[in-house]
Structure 1
């Protein structure tokens, strides 16, 4: 299961509704300009670079961790160049591998999945737990995409999207779930934009990419991550452009983040 949790999620504030606002709501437009018109969307296409994949072997955690870390290094090269060129802040992400992530780590309700990654906004760290699920078939693009997906939350934090999301008020649970989907789907799109910026990867073909997209049918709870068709839409959108501007999930209709 694809599981990236945002440490700041627990800090989302609830705003009480009153009067007409308490009526039944079917759409939840976002008005915070830090989300809808963030400067990230005007930065243009990511720079074209290369990213060499390290060798991996089935059930070899050491090699898988080295693979993941190498992809993170590629991500740092790309995003540092892209953000600093646009005058946006950049800080290097930290990565910490754990055999088992403790419950409530960084204020999160850590799941029981044997393989997962979390982004802790408190200290800019990606925490990775690699178990049987990720190690049994490590030779596809799943680990590559997981690294890019986790890093996308770091980018959101750097440019102010993460903090703005934390402060975004909501009324009903359905509204909060839609906000979470907008965040997660944007991460999907930004991850795919990075993959396109280093594509083609040596030894990979479009079949590898198509296989990854097919794997997105089983990414987790639809309430938090969106329907498979919605996820594929944003992934393909990011991959088609390599442009963060195409990943503005905060301005689109609720139907595009269902």
Structure 2
């Protein structure tokens, strides 16, 4: 995992910071790119809402916030480009339905991410990582989840549980961007130094939280529609399909945070930033 870009500036009272990270994980390599706070969302029914540039004390992580139960209607999984795109788009729609009320409750903006399944895509964060470096990644600059088709099918094959967990993790990075957690963390990593012990711990806190957010979604969809209890349980077990490294932490910690999200069903349970260092080692 390496920070490929770090930029900070101030314009029109909006702080911009960019941290582009691609990292390996368990043969299914994931990445996150975080950029500026997303545009302010306005409606005629509610006041202007903005991301909160906070991590552990972010309003999204307050007590009493969780994902509502949803019923997902996923199409038949297929390896062809249009079949895979339709499957992922349907999963994103389910994740939108689950996460929107939680962000609304925290008075935070919401917007659905874009999806790109092209091989060797051009991204708003610069060149995509090679196929052996990243199976899927999120770019905050264009708010897009990238899942190159050939790479993901080689890594995850047709195991729907793995695809569900993988997308839940990347969508978790999108939630971090919307809430302001990703921007606040990226600024802290830049200040500490990406390769420093403190910087690496911050990166682990962000990645482990994305695992927890994935677990939250799996729980919200479990046992209803096409996300059967068996599929959900298999998706949770897939948290074990990982490797230990300095950007994701020890395997027990990776499994613990993903499982906590699934079992505790509260965003407060995903507050990796207030956890002791031993739990994010």
Short-chain TM bin: 0.7 to 0.9
Q: Distance in 2 between matches of 1:254 and 1:109?
A: 31
Deviation at 1:82, TM superposition (A): 2.2
Give the match for residue 49 of structure 1.
70
Deviation at 1:97, TM superposition (A): 2.0
Give the match for residue 222 of structure 2.
199
Task: Report the structure, 1 or 2, having the larger strand content.
Answer: 2
Deviation at 1:86, TM superposition (A): 3.1
| Matching of residue 122 in structure 1 with residue 141 in structure 2 | yes
Q: Distance in 2 between matches of 1:124 and 1:155?
A: 10
Structure 1's unaligned 5+ residue stretches are 10-31
- State whether residues 211 and 257 of structure 2, in contact with CA within 8 Å, keep that contact through their aligned partners in structure 1: yes
Aligned CA-pair RMSD: 2.6
Q: What is the TM-score normalised by the length of structure 1?
A: 0.80
Query: Residues 47-75 of structure 1: CA distance to partner in whole angstroms, max 9, x if unpaired?
Result: 11111222113x43432221111101111
CA 197–209 in structure 1, closer or farther in 2 if over 3 Å, else same = closer
> Which of residues 180, 189, 192 is equivalent to 1:170?
192
Pairing 1:1-258 to 2, within 5 Å after superposition: 1-8=27-34, 34-42=54-62, 44-57=65-78, 59-101=79-121, 106-107=125-126, 110-113=129-132, 116-131=135-150, 134=153, 137-168=157-188, 169-170=191-192, 173-202=196-225, 206-220=229-243, 222-258=245-281
Deviation at 1:201, TM superposition (A): 4.0
Structure 2's unaligned 5+ residue stretches are 1-26, 36-51
Deviation at 1:254, TM superposition (A): 0.9
Is the deviation greater in 199-208 or in 87-96?
A: 199-208
Deviation at 1:91, TM superposition (A): 1.7
Q: What is the TM-score normalised by the length of structure 2?
A: 0.74
**Secondary structure in structure 1 of the residue aligned to 2:67:** coil
- State whether residues 261 and 269 of structure 2, in contact with CA within 8 Å, keep that contact through their aligned partners in structure 1: yes
CA 237–113 in structure 1, closer or farther in 2 if over 3 Å, else same = same
Higher relative contact order structure (alpha carbons within 8 Å, sequence separation ≥ 6): 1
**Secondary structure in structure 2 of the residue aligned to 1:34:** coil
- Structure 1 segments (4+ residues) deviating >6 Å: none
Deviation at 1:99, TM superposition (A): 1.5
CA 75–36 in structure 1, closer or farther in 2 if over 3 Å, else same = same
Q: Distance in 1 between matches of 2:146 and 2:242?
A: 19
Deviation at 1:170, TM superposition (A): 1.3
How many residues are matched? 234
CA 40–123 in structure 1, closer or farther in 2 if over 3 Å, else same = same
- State whether residues 185 and 249 of structure 1, in contact with CA within 8 Å, keep that contact through their aligned partners in structure 2: yes
- State whether residues 172 and 214 of structure 2, in contact with CA within 8 Å, keep that contact through their aligned partners in structure 1: yes
Q: Distance in 2 between matches of 1:147 and 1:205?
A: 17
Task: Report the structure, 1 or 2, having the larger helix content.
Answer: 1
